[in-house]
Structure 1
Amino acid sequence: MSASRKPVIIGAGVVVAALLLGLASYTATRPDDDGPAKPSAISGDSGDSGSPGASAAPQDDPYQELQALARRESGDPLSVGRADAPVVMVEYADFQCGYCGKFARDTEPELIDKYVESGVLRIEWRNFPIFGEESEAAARGAWAAGQQGRFWQFHAAAYADGAKEKGFGEDRLKELAEQAGVKDLDAFAEDLESEAARKSVKRDQEEAYALGATSTPSFLVNGRPISGAQPMDAFVQAIEAAHQAAPEKGAEPSGAAGKAGR
């Protein structure tokens, strides 16, 4: 298997974590289902306390290799929060995913207010389009908006209540870019169709597939998997546990780092 086809290689120590994420993704509720999202508890060892959606941290952490997927790139327009935050949540999502939208509207803003702005949490977005051509186009559009520092504004517009029902065709993507405050729409259109956009989306997509993810949204909190638009408490418990286990604790906010791109 060539590196160009699989940029993420899963080591032997992380196979269990990948299988857990794959199982959770398989059992998570799809966005077209009726009714609320179904919680999916993931346990990494027999000593797990049963906290919803996340595993406890055993002495020999099977998720340690997955923590390396946090890129921590300073100035990454598709991330929010300190690059050196003690907890990183990697989010794999699709703009046509109904439960991704629910998470974006109902839960993510609270996590940003509670943890990102205090310097504890960093959220790194990964484009994981799984619903066809318009999902791919929306992912490239989000990336293109990010080139002008407006990714999170595009993200908010694309996940606004009722937005996905309008589709993500060419005219709609331009409209979303305008709503997001993208200033140079010609540059946006060029970036949208660029090879760089396609490579970025493919990199994120292959990373998710290599982990065994098959549905959206899927998350890694310091390497520990959570699948589905879980209740706020599930993310709070996962973040608090990861923060407690992190080498650096009690990080202080650094200026406007937690508000960048919002």
Structure 2
Amino acid sequence: MRLPRRTLLAATALAATAPALHAQGTDPRMAERGIGRPDAPVKVMEFFSLTCSHCAAFHRDTYPRVKRELVETGAVRLIWRDFPLDQVALTAAAVARSLPAERYEGFIGTLLTTQDRWAFSRGGDPIAELAKLAALAGMSRAQFDQVQADEGLKRAILGDRAMAEREFDVRATPSFSFQGRQKTVNQSGNLSFDRFAQLATEVRQA
């Protein structure tokens, strides 16, 4: 999903105010979230938004096979990078990062596979629906409200998004950065498994 320029500018301005605490990497909620061997020969960063329909399609159609055939075999480490497209996605990303790390993958998977029921339900309240899903993941309503009000965490997430724009020229979601030991390839769009595997092989063999 491509980003409107106005959205990009607003997010970049807000991210510029991110506290020095985040810059020093001291907030454990901003630690890397990923799956696969840390020493895998290929690392793939996925820049995604929890309200992006293309991200949901990748998670539904391609991710299960990527996990089974590339991650679990040790060929790839997949790292999730937040790139929220709107305030709802930003709140969802903050909630996901505030859960215990071992619940992160399952929670974002639930959000992506049920987008139509919580983020885009006609006449619904996305934040209220998000709170219900967070409760199922073990987060109380008081904890949810605290996360929702945590502007420091949100600025940190937007700071990472701004960094992705600068370093990887991310302009759409999902986007991917395939990193081997000698070569990096950046690719935007909902990738098929065959294309994902092809890019992973390309950077590994370089």
Q: Per the shorter chain, which TM-score range?
A: 0.7 to 0.9
Change (3 A) 1:85 1:168: farther
1:151 maps to amino acid: Y
Q: 2:173 aligns with which of 212, 216, 230?
A: 216
Q: 2:96 aligns with which of 121, 142, 147?
A: 142
Shift in Å, 1:192: 4.1
Query: CA contact under 8 A between 2:33 and 2:101: conserved in structure 1?
Result: no
Secondary structure in 1 matching 2:51: coil
Shift in Å, 1:125: 0.8
Q: 2:104 aligns with which of 151, 172, 191?
A: 151
Instruction: Tell me, yes or no, if structure 1 residue 175 matches structure 2 residue 186.
Output: no
Change (3 A) 1:107 1:168: farther
Shift in Å, 1:195: 4.3
1:154 maps to amino acid: F
Seq. identity, %: 27
2:153 maps to amino acid: A
Instruction: Tell me, yes or no, if structure 1 residue 123 matches structure 2 residue 84.
Output: no
Change (3 A) 1:238 1:177: same
Secondary structure in 2 matching 1:221: strand
Distance 2:17 2:45 in 1: 19
Shift in Å, 1:194: 2.4
1:221 maps to amino acid: F
Q: Which runs of 5+ in 1 are unaligned?
A: 8-72, 246-262
**Higher alpha-carbon Rg:** 1
Instruction: Tell me, yes or no, if structure 1 residue 198 matches structure 2 residue 151.
Output: no
Shift in Å, 1:77: 5.9
Change (3 A) 1:215 1:236: same
Secondary structure in 2 matching 1:136: helix
2:106 maps to amino acid: Q
Distance 1:126 1:137 in 2: 15
The normalised TM-score by structure 1 is 0.58
Distance 1:203 1:120 in 2: 30
Query: CA contact under 8 A between 1:137 and 1:168: conserved in structure 2?
Result: no
Query: CA contact under 8 A between 1:150 and 1:182: conserved in structure 2?
Result: no
More helix by share: 2
Task: Kindly provide the CA deviation profile for residues 137-165 of structure 1, in whole angstroms up to 9, marking residues without a partner as x.
Answer: 122122223x4531111111111153432
Aligned to 1:87: 42
Shift in Å, 1:81: 1.3
Aligned to 2:186: 225
Q: Which runs of 5+ in 2 are unaligned?
A: 1-14, 19-27
Instruction: Tell me, yes or no, if structure 1 residue 237 matches structure 2 residue 194.
Output: no
Instruction: Tell me, yes or no, if structure 1 residue 5 matches structure 2 residue 16.
Output: yes
2:57 maps to amino acid: K
Distance 1:198 1:6 in 2: 11
2:127 maps to amino acid: E
Secondary structure in 2 matching 1:150: helix
Paired residues in the alignment total: 173
Change (3 A) 1:151 1:227: same
Change (3 A) 1:171 1:133: same
Structure 2 counterparts to residues 75-114 of structure 1, below 5 A: 76=31, 78-114=33-69
Change (3 A) 1:93 1:168: farther
Query: CA contact under 8 A between 2:175 and 2:186: conserved in structure 1?
Result: yes
Secondary structure in 1 matching 2:202: helix
Distance 1:158 1:212 in 2: 26
